[in-house]
Amino acid sequence: MVDFEVGVILPCAGSGERLGGVIPKQYCKVLGKPLFMYALEAFDQLPYVKRIALVVDKHEQVRSWIQEFGVNEEKITVVKGEATRHRSIRAGLQSLQKNEDSMKVVVVHDAVRPLVPRPVVDELMLAAERHGAAGLTRPLVSTVLEPGADGLLARCLDRSRHLASETPQAFQLGVLAAAYAKCSAEDLDTGTECLELARAHACVRACLIQGPEELWKVTHKKDIYAAEGCLREAMNSVCIVAAEESEAVRLLAESLSCRVASVRHVRSAADPPAGSSKDTFNTVIFFHEHEIDQENQLLEFATMLDFEKQGLIVHVMDHTSSDGMQTMSVYDLHCAGRSMAKHYEKLRKGVAVIHRLTPGEDARLAELVASLVLSDPPTFSGQTLFL
């Protein structure tokens, strides 16, 4: 257990030239939030983190976002970024030293790495306290080639003997301060690796810990799309409520199983999900025979709904064995859906209603519901669809 105080340095300046476009990658909106907010929120939620130095180049805009998304402003110091990575990290370190005297460990994490797994961060903190420095690594995916001055191959490194350095990295406060105090101008202008600074200038060899595969960095345009998919998956816990395990329910659960954080099937509110009665979900899919009783259903499932996270409620109406649709107009159905959407807004939930009219369309129904679950909840909220 981490029982000491920790400070965090989040470098969040720079132009992000490799991404292309006019907006630096750290400020690109992903699922409605600037990319850097995900890392900031993750560290803000850790109870042992006392202060976060957010090193930026757009003070007023960043402060506005911090207020908009409700991050704990008392814990965050916004620091002016400098021309290089090491100079910006040093500025963040100096800010932490100025404001805190009880901090034992300092974390350095790239703000454009949005996924911060709590268990591995805890392990990293303890390793840094014990060894002086600790860093996360991943196996190399590609072989590394060293070119000669003439542009021709000089040598090829053995991939099995090398690792990719990732963040977060953690250091005893004194170790990181000593390393930056002895940095040369060349280190500050051209270097990128904090673990090497600790080795070269503070004589501390970092403990290397293999991290999970989600420790990747948004660098190129394609990474923005990957970040969106990974964040949506990490944020989405789905509960399917259906009295019977029909083919459509089975196909839907199968389709979502590898695309969301968790998916469970229950038959009623009295039938808690397998594994834990304390599970909560931000997205719920109801399968109905003919009618929607939204008021009673929300009351029944209130303890299972996660109202902190934005999500979607999908009602699937099966009309294949009845003629109940014959007396209802599309306009009335659409108005009912829009009214329901306003009712759910205060719960941070979107809502969509699917009327299934054609029998034998289990695969298409599962595909349609899955596509709604994996979309932005507000996008289809209030929509009425027919299959």
How far apart (Å, rounded) are the C-alpha atoms in residues 152 and 342?
64
In three-state form (DSSP H/G/I as H, E/B as E, the rest C), the secondary structure along 339-365 is HHHHHHHCCCEEEEEEEECCCCCHHHH
- Residues 6 or more apart whose CB falls under 8 angstroms from that of 322 comprise 289, 290
3-state secondary structure of 262: strand
Angle between helices 194-202 and 173-181 (to 10 degrees): 80
How far apart (Å, rounded) are the C-alpha atoms in residues 351 and 347?
11
- CA angle centred on 110, ends 105 and 111, rounded to 5°: 110
CATH topology of domain 236-386: Rossmann fold (3.40.50)
Please report, for the chain, the start and end positions of each structural domain, with discontinuous segments joined by +: 6-138+164-221, 236-386
**267 CB neighbour count, 10 Å cutoff:** 12
HSE value, Cβ hemisphere, 13 Å, CA-based, for 25: 23
- Residues 6 or more apart whose CB falls under 8 angstroms from that of 320 comprise 356, 357, 358, 359
How far apart (Å, rounded) are the C-alpha atoms in residues 370 and 375?
9
pLDDT confidence of residue 338: 76
In three-state form (DSSP H/G/I as H, E/B as E, the rest C), the secondary structure along 113-180 is CCCCCHHHHHHHHHHHHHHCEEEEEEECCCCCEEECCCCCEEEECCHHHCEEEEEEEEEEHHHHHHHH
| Domain 6-138+164-221 and domain 236-386 have a common topology | no
pLDDT confidence of residue 299: 64
Query: Among candidates 187, 212, 54, 43, which has minimal Cα distance to 120?
Result: 212
pLDDT confidence of residue 339: 74
- What is the model's pTM? 0.80
* Cα-Cα-Cα-Cα dihedral sign, residues 33, 36, 39, 44: negative
pLDDT confidence of residue 327: 57
How far apart (Å, rounded) are the C-alpha atoms in residues 345 and 381?
9
pLDDT confidence of residue 21: 60
How far apart (Å, rounded) are the C-alpha atoms in residues 265 and 165?
40
pLDDT confidence of residue 215: 86
**38 CB neighbour count, 10 Å cutoff:** 21
Q: Tokens 């859906």: give the residue.
A: 337
pLDDT confidence of residue 15: 62
- Residues 6 or more apart whose CB falls under 8 angstroms from that of 58 comprise 27
pLDDT confidence of residue 267: 83
- Cis check for the bond before 168: say yes or no (omega within 30 of 0): yes
- CA angle centred on 352, ends 350 and 356, rounded to 5°: 165
Per CATH, is 6-138+164-221 categorized as 3.90.550.10?
yes
Tokens of 126: 């303890």
Along the 387 residues of the chain, how does pLDDT read in single tens digits? 999 999 999 999 876 565 656 678 899 998 889 999 999 999 999 999 999 999 998 889 999 999 998 888 889 999 999 999 999 999 999 999 987 678 999 999 999 999 999 999 999 999 999 999 999 999 998 999 999 999 999 999 999 999 999 999 999 999 999 999 999 999 999 999 999 999 999 999 999 999 998 888 898 888 888 888 888 888 889 999 998 889 999 999 999 988 898 899 988 766 655 444 457 898 999 998 766 665 566 666 777 788 778 888 898 988 776 655 555 677 677 777 777 777 777 777 888 889 888 888 899 999 999 999 988 877 888 888 888
> Residue 200: exposed, middle, or buried by beta-carbon count in 10 A (0-12, 13-18, 19+)?
middle
pLDDT confidence of residue 326: 55
How far apart (Å, rounded) are the C-alpha atoms in residues 262 and 215?
20
